[in-house]
Amino acid sequence: MTESTRQASSRQAGAADPADSFGAFAPGALTRAVLGVTRKVPETWAGHRLALALRKLAIRSLKGAPVDVEALGARMRLYPYRNVCDKKVLFTPQFFDPQERAILGRHVEEARSASRGFRFIDIGANIGAYSVYVAALAGPEARILAVEPQPDIFERLTFNIRQCPWPTVKAIACAVADKSGELTLFLDPDNSGESSLKVLASSSAQNIRVAAVPLLQLLAEEGFDRVDAMKLDVEGAEDIILEPFLRNAPDDLLPRLLIMEDGSDRWQIDLPALVTQRGYRQVLRTRLNFVFERDRG
């Protein structure tokens, strides 16, 4: 698959419309007040309940409008409707994968200390929360690839990328799979972040055809000869992506840090075992994710 069959976007690939630049949807008084509370609540049962109640109040008041805010060290435009990622990052960014981000931040700092540009691959980038977080930490020498197949989410991703201080993030509008071509993407009607290449249980799920490319091919086409960290959040399709990659990738191309969503109930193989066979050790398992590290040879 060539570049002509996929959409690509980077910060250099077109400026935002001046009439719709960041700040055009600044939070109003009620939203600011809610954010002042929800972004400080502790990660306790009571904290979650309070944040949820206030979040619902603010979302109703927004009446479908997005919100331009700073979150995770970056400027973002967030749409807290039918996408859990937007809701979390807007109202409670302190709850957004804090342990995973701490480990990722440590790897970024190690690369910067060694004067080595950080290389990060974000598969299932959604609105770009991980990508812009890394971009803010890693500085102008980083190189970040954000891959997202959903057209409407891709537009939000590219807007957020344009807010980054350096042109270090490139967005690719495609799916990553075990073969090139067109595949069916099943769209979750309630949460865009749960759309998947695997059939969804929801009877109201719709589907679209999207371009797809294997991970090894994508990295070769984008000129990556090493990867410092990789995140996969593809709703149970992690095995489709990683099995051929882990079996065929040279050691030099294996990321030192691997963060992948826990899709154990949908995987067709024992994916953690395969990851371990390629020299990784599990350093964290949260409610949502596995985190593996691999020493460089």
Whether residue 38 is found in the same domain as residue 121: no
Nearest alpha-carbon partner for 259 in 286, 279, 237: 286
Q: How far is CA 146 from CA 194, 206, 265, in A?
A: 17, 24, 26
Total domains in the chain come to 2
Residue 232 sits in a domain whose CATH number is: 3.40.50.150
| Per-residue pLDDT, 290 | 98
Which pTM was predicted? 0.90
Residue 208: inside a domain, yes or no?
yes
- Of the listed ranges 10-14, 31-35, 185-189, 213-217, the least confidently predicted one is 10-14
- Residue at 250: amino acid letter: P
Q: What is the mean pLDDT of residues 230-246?
A: 95
Residue 12: inside a domain, yes or no?
no
Read off the pLDDT band of 231 (50, 70, 90).
very high
How far, rounded to the nearest angstrom, does the alpha carbon of residue 280 sit from its chain's CA centroid? 22
Residue 245: inside a domain, yes or no?
yes
Q: What single DSSP character describes residue 196?
A: B
- In which domain, by residue range, is 52 found? 26-83
d(CA 291, CA 146): 19
Whether residue 137 is found in the same domain as residue 201: yes
Whether residue 203 is found in the same domain as residue 172: yes
| Per-residue pLDDT, 12 | 39
Residue 89: inside a domain, yes or no?
no
HSE-up (13 A, CA, CB side) for residue 142: 32
- Residue at 133: amino acid letter: Y
127-156 pLDDT per residue, tens: 999 999 999 999 999 999 999 999 999 999
Measured over all CA atoms, what is the biggest interatomic distance in the chain, rounded to whole angstroms? 54
| Per-residue pLDDT, 9 | 60
Whether residue 155 is found in the same domain as residue 30: no
Residue 139: inside a domain, yes or no?
yes
Residue 18: inside a domain, yes or no?
no
Last residue of a domain, one of 46, 61, 83: 83
| Per-residue pLDDT, 64 | 94
Residue 175: inside a domain, yes or no?
yes
Whether residue 103 is found in the same domain as residue 71: no
Whether residue 74 is found in the same domain as residue 105: no
Residue 11: inside a domain, yes or no?
no
Whether residue 127 is found in the same domain as residue 194: yes
Read off the pLDDT band of 204 (50, 70, 90).
low
Nearest alpha-carbon partner for 96 in 61, 56, 51, 64: 51
Residue 84 burial by CB count (10 A; 0-12/13-18/19+): exposed, middle or buried? middle
